[in-house]
Amino acid sequence: MDRPRSLELDLLIHGTRRTYQDDHCRCSSCTAANTAYTSDYRSGIRAGRPPLGAHVANLDVDRAIARLVTEGFSKARIARALGYHYPWLQYGAGVTWRTVYRLQRLEREWTR
């Protein structure tokens, strides 16, 4: 038997972005939580601190890999150091900032 919509809304945990997104709750506390997240997200991007899961273009990654290969490191070794489960570099239209930061760390450590 279906519960009435009003009962479902009462069972939600209000004041969270998750409820705003997943359950489509538009009460003032859920809306405020979503607004706060969006504001923090945008200010982080403006300040140069994007979320680790955000995707970026491959151009910087390609250049960094090319520099490491020029230094004598194989792509298989780079892939293993980045935590890939296979010995080759494979990425689609973009990579995450997490991968970019790992690659930058490798470059610093390996080319001292």
- Tell me what the pLDDT averaged over the chain comes to: 84
Instruction: Tell me the percentage of the chain whose pLDDT exceeds 70.
Output: 89
Tell me the mean pLDDT in the region 7-32.
84
Q: What residues does each domain of the chain span? A: 5-46, 55-110
Answer whether residue 12 shows pLDDT above 90.
no
Measure the CA dihedral 79/81/86/91, to 10°: -40
Q: Which pLDDT does position 17 carry in this prediction? A: 92
Give Cβ neighbours of residue 29 (< 8 Å, ≥ 6 apart). Answer: 14, 15
Segment 42-95, tens digit of pLDDT = 898 889 888 888 888 787 788 889 999 999 999 999 999 988 888 888 777 678
Helix (H) / strand (E) containing 63: helix 59-70
pTM score over 0.75: no
Residue predicted with more confidence, 12 or 16: 16
Q: How far is CA 34 from CA 1, 40, 85, 100, in A?
A: 32, 10, 36, 28
